[in-house]
Every structure is written in C-alpha cells, then in structure tokens.
Amino acid sequence: MTASISDFLLHWYAKHSRDLPWRTPPGENRPDDPAYPYRVWLSEVMLQQTTVAAVKPYFAKFTEIWPTVQDLAAASEDEVMAAWAGLGYYSRARNLVKCAKEVAARGGFPETEEKLRDLPGLGAYTAASVAAIAFGERAVVVDANVERVVARVFAIEEPLPGARKAIREKAETITPDENAGDFAQAMMDLGANICTSKAPRCLLCPLSDQCAARKAGDPQRLPVKPPKKAKPERRGTAYWIERNESEREVWLVTRPGKGMLGGMRALPDDGWSARSDGSGDPPIATNWEELGAVRHTFTHAHLTLSVRRTLVDKTPPGEGIWWPVNKMEDSGLPTLFAKAARLALV
C-alpha cells in the first residue's frame, strides 16, 4: 500500500500538476539557478494561510523588485512591508527580511531540513517544503491540504489538532525516498483540487481505491475539526488628517513593530487591538468630520473602524510622514487602512 500510494500519486501529478510560477515541471531535477531555493522559500512563506490566486501577483512583484535573496536582504524593512501590504499576516514580511539577511550572510540557503529550521521564521512545514522541493531531500511536508488527504486515506478519526501526530506519522510512511519534492507538491495539488474540504471529487482521485474514508462512505467528514469559536467584536477609530487643500497630503504613521499590523504604515488611530476596543484620545484636538465606518476581519477578531477627517495647517505631534493623496496606491497601507482611506477619498 505504501509504494502504491506514492506511485499512483506521482503518476497523477505528472499529468495534472498545477502550472505555478515558482515551480519546475514534474520529474525535472532542480535547476542549477541559485535563485531557485529563494523562489521556493518565498512562495512557501507567502502561501501560508493565503490562496495561490492571492499570492501570484505578490510573488511576481517581489521577484521583479528583488530577484535574489541578496537583493531582498539589501532592502529596508519599510520597503518590504510596503510591497507586502494587502497580503496579510504581516509578521511573515518581517521574518522574510530577517531570514533574507541571515541567508545572505551565510552565502546561501542551507540544504537540509535540520539546518533550514535554524533560519528566522522557518517552522517545521516551511523547512520541510524547502528541503524537499528546492534540494530534493526526503522530508515529510504536511500542510492543511496534506492533512486532509492523509486523514481521509487512513480514516483518522481523532479530531484536530490532536490528530496531527497520527497524520504526520502516516505521512511519513507514504513519503518516498526519491522525488520527495514532487510527492509533496502532488499531495498539495490533490488536496487543493480533488480532495477538497467540501464535495471531494473522489471519482477523479488517484488514491480512491486506497482511501479508507471513501470506502466508509463519507470522506467529507474527515478530518474532524473542533467547533469554531466565535470571534470577538472590536471597535476603533482611524483619523484622516489632511493639509494643503490644493495639493492634498495625509498624515501617515508607522505602527509599533509588535501587535496587529505591526510595522505597517497606517492612519493614526485610537489604540484598538484584537483584545480591546480603542479608547485613546484623537491625535490632535480639533473638530472632526464623521465619514462612516469600515469592517475588517482578522484571525482573532472582527473590527468595526470608524473614520474621522480633519484639515490642519500644522504637523501633528509624534513621528509620521505627509503623504501625497494622489499617490495613495504607493503608500503600502494594509487592507484595513486602505478601506478607511477610500472613505476619505470619495
């Protein structure tokens, strides 16, 4: 059964693999291009909790601006954060810069899973992915797609997250010694396109005859997930402070390095967080025009952000920058504050 699963899956992958800008075709040896591990690593970091469709334009932008890890290492964190704006989970961007600097200092990426784990921001999944895909090392790669496939093939009934130990152990038994990178990507593609969360396409699955969950008659039931907890509702206020009514500039600040949207450029606000409503004073004492509110969902909370606007003739206290309103698309505002800015620009 072990050999047949990897054989069936690799045969299927050779015909049905996704054409992705960071991949080489199935069966090809990894290219000699020293930028290849960089592209694999960059794509894997971007793909964490993010869809392929969302990642593609960001991957294209990053590899155009910073074609090598040395180029990225030479960039400032502000530049990288601005280019990352809108992709979410911004700690990934900060770790991206730290990791690039470390890799450049070492002269390149280490080629084993163990040594890759020493790099900043590389957890078990990313280290295994880069080791298998970029360097051909036998590494067990388990993401959400792989979890789903393995839980169904072996009918693992224990609910997540407790089932992850058993899922990894089973994934270990079916990972081949050769072509581990193709196998990992095949498992990802199978979970993304065939063995989907809802309405799995079992008739098209190369593992249908080996799948214990399909034989039991209800593969969609697995993996068993715990009930979702309701996200708390938070409220806050953002402030659009404008000057030069003719040329129009808005006051932007940089958020603290830690916490929600850490290190990102933003509008001033009242100190809201995922744990509490905003309660701070406005950045300046003046008359504010109410513009309405925007709503945004984070991993741990829903936020309703009221937006207020004022026109001033002097610079507010504290650190910040006057940004041309006609170049807002270049400001690198994260999605939440881009929504707020649109209210002010109507």
Which of 334, 182, 191, 190 lies closest to 252, judged by CA? Answer: 334
Q: Is 119 left (phi over 0), alpha (psi -120 to 50) or beta?
A: beta
What residues are paired with 290 via a beta bridge? 308
- Residue 196 shares a structural domain with residue 265: no
Which of 10, 17, 8 lies closest to 210, judged by CA? Answer: 8
Predicted TM-score (pTM) of this structure: 0.85
Residues 6+ apart with CB under 8 A from 58: 46, 83, 84, 87
pLDDT tens profile 112-163: 999 999 999 999 999 999 999 999 999 999 999 999 999 999 999 999 999 9
- For residue 105, being part of any structural domain is answered with yes
Task: Please give the DSSP secondary-structure letter assigned to residue 133.
Answer: H
Give the integer Cα–Cα distance in Å for 9 and 11.
5
- For residue 226, being part of any structural domain is answered with no
Q: Is the dihedral of CA 153, 154, 160, 166 positive or negative?
A: negative
Distances in Å between the Cα of 312 and the Cα atoms of 50, 62, 240, 252 are 39, 37, 10, 14
- Residue 134 shares a structural domain with residue 249: no
- For residue 99, being part of any structural domain is answered with yes
Amino acid at 172: E
Q: Is the dihedral of CA 168, 173, 177, 183 positive or negative?
A: negative
- For residue 217, being part of any structural domain is answered with yes
Structural domain count of the chain: 2
Per DSSP (E only), the strands in the chain are 233-243, 249-254, 265-266, 289-297, 302-311, 321-324
The structure tokens listed for 165 are: 């130990």
- Residue 151 shares a structural domain with residue 261: no
Look at residue 312 and give its three-state secondary structure.
coil
Look at residue 185 and give its three-state secondary structure.
helix
- Residue 241 shares a structural domain with residue 114: no
Range of the domain at 260: 233-345
What residues are paired with 235 via a beta bridge? 304
Considering 186, 221, 256, which residue would you say is the last residue of a domain? 221
- For residue 202, being part of any structural domain is answered with yes
CATH number at residue 122: 1.10.340.30
- For residue 228, being part of any structural domain is answered with no
pLDDT tens profile 258-291: 888 888 899 999 999 988 999 899 999 999 999 9
The structure tokens listed for 248 are: 């129009």
- Residue 128 shares a structural domain with residue 269: no
Give the integer Cα–Cα distance in Å for 84 and 46.
9
Low-confidence ranges of the chain (pLDDT < 50): 1-2
DSSP string covering 256-286: -SSSTTTT-EE--B----SSS---PPPSS-S
Percent of the chain residues past pLDDT 90, beyond the cut: 84
- Residue 136 shares a structural domain with residue 100: yes
* Per-residue model confidence (pLDDT) at position 1: 43
**Which residues are catalytic, by number?**
44
Give the integer Cα–Cα distance in Å for 7 and 185.
14
CATH number at residue 328: 3.90.79.10
Q: Is the dihedral of CA 279, 285, 289, 294 positive or negative?
A: negative
- Residue 242 shares a structural domain with residue 215: no
Angle, alpha carbons 345-287-246 (nearest 5°): 40
- For residue 25, being part of any structural domain is answered with yes
